[in-house]
C-alpha cells in the first residue's frame, strides 16, 4: 500500500494593520480599519454607544485623570469615528485627526484651541462666505478679533496685520467661490517668520489634489460633508494635526498656547504627554469634549466609507470641470470664468505647480467633453489642452447682471439649485444673494462677488449632459 504524503499546512499571514508607506489609493481604502474579533466583520461597524465600560476602579481614575487615552464618553471619541480619523490623518500626512459635527465646528474648534477672548487671528480675504460670517459674528462675540490680508504677496500688509496677540494664520487651498488658489508656501513662510501656526481649510482641494502639510501648513480643517463623504447625506467636519509646529519654541518667542504648553501637575504639558500630536489631543480634550460638537458615529461611518473612493471621484470631478470651464469660456453669454486651472487664468502657473496638470478636451460643436488625449496648446473648439487640477467648485459670471443670473439658474434642470458643494450631484447658487448677502457692498466688490456671478459645483454626471443643461441656462439668460 502506497503511503500518502502528509498534508502541508501553511499558516495564514496576519492582515496588515499599519498602512504607512502604501500608496494613496490603498490607504484611502484601508487606513484606520481594525479587525472585528467577535464576528469577523470586514467593514468596521457603527459603534452606537454613548459611553464605555471601565476595566476597574483604577481604570476609571486613570481615564479621568488623563493618564489613559481610552475614551470615557463618545463626546471625546468613538471607534467608528476613529477609523475615519486615522484614515484622514494618513491621507493628509498628519499625525492625528479629531472628527467633529460639521465644517464650521472644525474651524471653530481648531481656532478655539489656539485663541481665547482678547486674542487675534489673521486670515486671507478670499475665503468661504460662511467662514467670514462665523468670524465676524460668533468669534467677535467671544472676543476673538479677525483681520484680513487682501494681498498675500505683500509682506508689508502681513506685517501690519499681525499683532503680539495674534495666535494663527488662516486660509483656504481653493477659495470658495472664485477658485483663486492661494500660494501656501508663501503664506507658510510668513507664518514661520512670526512663529504662528498656519491653519488651512482643504475642503475644496481634498488630499487627493493637494496636501497642505507638505506645503508648510500645520493644521488642516475640512467640512467632511463635501468631497470626503462625497454624497451629501451626512454633515461632518475634521481637524488634522500635522505635528509640525514647535509649540514650545513659539512660547519662548512670546506666542502663548496654554492648552498645549501649560504643565498639569503630575502629568506635564500636552507636549510632554503626546509629543507631535499635542495639538490634536488638546483640541479633543479641552475644546471638543467641553463644547460638545461631537460627530455622530453613523456620520463617521459614512465618512470613512466615502473616503474609500475619494481619488476616483476627484479624478472625474476635475476632468468634467476642465471640459466645462473651457467650454464656458467660449460662450458669448459668459463674461468670465474663475478657474485657476484654465491656461488663461492669471493663477495658472501657481495652480500647475501645486496641483499638477492633466490633459483635457473642450467640447466642440457636438457637445462632447472629457479628459484624454495629448496635452498642450490653448483650449479651442473641440480641441485638447493642458489644465491644472484645481477641483470642481468655481465661479462663472453671466451677462445681464442679477436678471441674467436669475434666468440662468431658473433655466437649469440637471443642476440642483441649492447650497453645498462636493456632492455627486452638480449644484448652482448665486453668492451675492446667499452666502455673501450680509456683507457690505464694498467688501463684495473687493471679493469679486458681482450680481452676475454664479458658483457651480460639478458633480459626477456626464459632462456632455451638464454642458447641455448649461447651454439651456445660458439661452434663458440671453433672452433677458
Residue-wise pLDDT for 457-473, tens only, equals: 999 999 999 999 999 99
pLDDT (average), residues 54-73: 91
> Bridge-partner residues for 387, per DSSP?
358
Instruction: Write the pLDDT tens digit of every residue in 339-361.
Output: 999 999 999 999 999 999 999 98
Which H helix or E strand runs over 224? Answer: none
- Give residue 1's pLDDT band: very low, low, confident or very high (50, 70, 90): low
Instruction: Give the pLDDT band (50/70/90) at residue 41.
Output: confident
pTM of the entire predicted model: 0.93
Q: Which of 57-66, 159-168, 197-206, 298-307 has the lowest mean pLDDT?
A: 57-66
pLDDT digits (tens, 9 = 90+) for 288-317: 999 999 999 999 999 999 999 999 999 999
* pLDDT over 70 at 233, yes or no: yes
pLDDT digits (tens, 9 = 90+) for 176-191: 999 999 999 999 999 9
Number of H helices, E strands in the chain: 20, 15
First to last CA, the chain: 97
Average per-residue pLDDT for the chain: 93
Instruction: Categorize the per-residue pLDDT at 13 as very low, low, confident or very high, splitting at 50, 70 and 90.
Output: confident
Give residue 160's pLDDT.
98
Classify the phi-psi angles of 91: left when phi > 0, otherwise alpha if psi is within -120 to 50, otherwise beta.
alpha
* Residues contacting residue 246 through CB under 8 Å, at least 6 positions apart: none
Query: What was the pLDDT predicted at 9?
Result: 72
Range of weakest confidence among 54-68, 83-97, 358-372: 358-372
DSSP 8-class letter at 379 = -
CB within 8 A of 468, min separation 6: which ones?
Answer: 367, 414
Mean pLDDT of 400-411: 98
Return the pLDDT at 7: 65
> What is residue 375's predicted lDDT score, i.e. its pLDDT?
32
Residue 314, burial from CB neighbour count under 10 angstroms (0-12, 13-18, 19+): buried
Q: Of 397, 378, 366, nearest to 463 (Cα)? A: 366
Q: What DSSP state is assigned to residue 337?
A: E
Query: H helices of 198-332, where?
Result: 206-209, 247-252, 258-261, 270-274, 278-283, 289-291, 297-307, 310-329
User: Which domains are present in the chain?
Assistant: 24-307 (3.40.640.10), 310-478 (3.90.1150.10)
pLDDT tier at 203, thresholds 50, 70, 90: very high
Q: pLDDT category, 479, cuts 50, 70, 90? A: very high
**Residues 201, 134: contact at Cβ < 8 Å?**
no
Residue with cell 477609523: 83
Which cell is 206 given? 481634498
Amino acid at each position: 500500500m502506497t503511503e500518502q504524503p502528509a498534508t502541508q499546512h501553511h499558516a495564514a499571514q496576519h492582515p496588515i494593520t499599519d498602512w504607512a508607506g502604501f500608496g494613496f489609493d490603498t490607504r484611502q481604502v484601508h487606513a484606520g480599519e481594525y479587525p472585528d474579533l467577535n464576528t469577523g466583520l470586514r467593514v468596521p461597524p457603527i459603534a452606537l454607544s454613548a459611553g464605555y465600560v471601565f476595566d476597574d476602579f483604577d481604570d476609571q481614575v486613570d481615564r479621568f485623570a488623563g493618564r489613559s487615552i481610552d475614551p470615557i464618553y463618545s463626546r471625546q471619541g468613538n471607534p467608528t469615528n476613529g477609523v475615519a480619523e486615522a484614515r484622514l490623518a494618513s491621507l493628509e500626512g498628519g499625525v492625528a485627526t479629531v472628527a467633529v459635527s460639521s465644517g464650521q465646528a472644525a474651524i471653530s474648534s481648531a481656532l478655539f484651541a489656539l485663541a481665547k477672548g482678547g486674542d487675534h487671528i489673521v486670515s486671507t480675504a478670499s475665503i468661504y462666505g460662511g467662514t467670514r460670517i462665523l468670524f465676524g459674528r460668533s468669534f467677535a462675540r467671544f472676543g476673538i478679533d479677525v483681520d484680513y490680508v487682501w494681498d498675500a504677496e505683500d509682506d508689508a500688509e502681513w506685517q501690519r496685520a499681525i499683532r503680539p496677540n495674534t495666535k494663527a494664520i488662516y486660509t483656504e487651498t481653493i477659495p470658495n467661490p472664485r477658485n483663486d488658489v492661494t500660494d501656501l508656501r508663501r503664506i507658510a513662510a510668513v507664518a514661520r517668520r512670526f512663529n504662528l501656526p498656519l491653519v488651512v481649510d482643504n475642503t475644496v482641494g481634498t488630499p487627493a489634489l493637494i496636501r497642505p502639510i507638505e506645503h508648510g501648513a500645520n493644521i488642516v480643517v475640512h467640512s467632511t460633508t463635501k468631497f470626503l463623504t462625497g454624497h451629501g447625506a451626512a454633515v461632518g467636519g475634521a481637524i488634522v494635526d500635522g505635528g509640525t509646529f514647535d509649540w514650545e519654541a513659539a512660547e519662548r518667542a512670546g506666542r502663548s498656547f496654554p492648552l498645549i504648553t501649560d504643565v498639569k501637575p503630575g502629568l506635564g504639558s500636552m507636549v510632554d504627554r503626546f509629543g507631535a500630536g499635542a495639538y490634536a489631543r488638546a483640541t479633543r480634550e479641552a475644546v471638543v469634549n467641553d463644547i460638545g460638537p461631537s460627530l455622530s458615529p453613523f456620520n463617521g461611518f459614512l465618512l470613512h466609507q466615502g473616503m474609500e473612493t475619494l481619488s476616483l471621484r476627484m479624478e472625474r470631478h476635475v476632468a468634467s470641470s476642465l471640459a466645462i470651464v473651457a467650454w464656458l469660456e467660449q460662450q458669448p453669454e459668459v463674461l468670465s470664468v474663475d478657474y485657476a486651472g484654465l491656461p488663461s487664468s492669471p493663477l495658472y502657473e501657481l495652480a500647475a505647480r501645486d496641483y499638477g496638470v492633466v490633459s483635457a478636451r473642450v467640447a466642440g460643436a457636438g457637445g462632447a467633453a472629457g479628459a484624454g488625449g495629448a496635452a498642450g496648446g490653448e483650449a479651442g473648439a473641440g480641441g485638447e489642452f493642458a489644465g491644472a487640477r484645481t477641483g470642481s467648485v468655481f465661479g462663472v459670471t453671466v451677462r445681464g447682471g442679477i436678471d441674467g443670473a436669475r434666468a440662468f439658474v431658473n433655466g437649469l434642470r440637471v443642476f440642483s439649485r441649492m447650497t453645498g458643494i462636493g456632492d455627486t450631484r452638480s449644484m448652482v447658487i448665486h453668492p451675492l444673494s446667499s452666502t455673501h448677502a450680509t456683507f457690505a457692498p464694498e467688501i463684495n466688490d473687493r471679493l469679486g462677488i458681482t450680481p452676475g456671478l454664479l458658483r457651480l459645483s460639478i458633480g459626477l454626471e456626464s459632462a456632455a449632459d451638464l454642458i447641455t443643461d448649461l447651454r439651456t441656462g445660458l439661452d434663458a439668460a440671453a433672452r433677458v
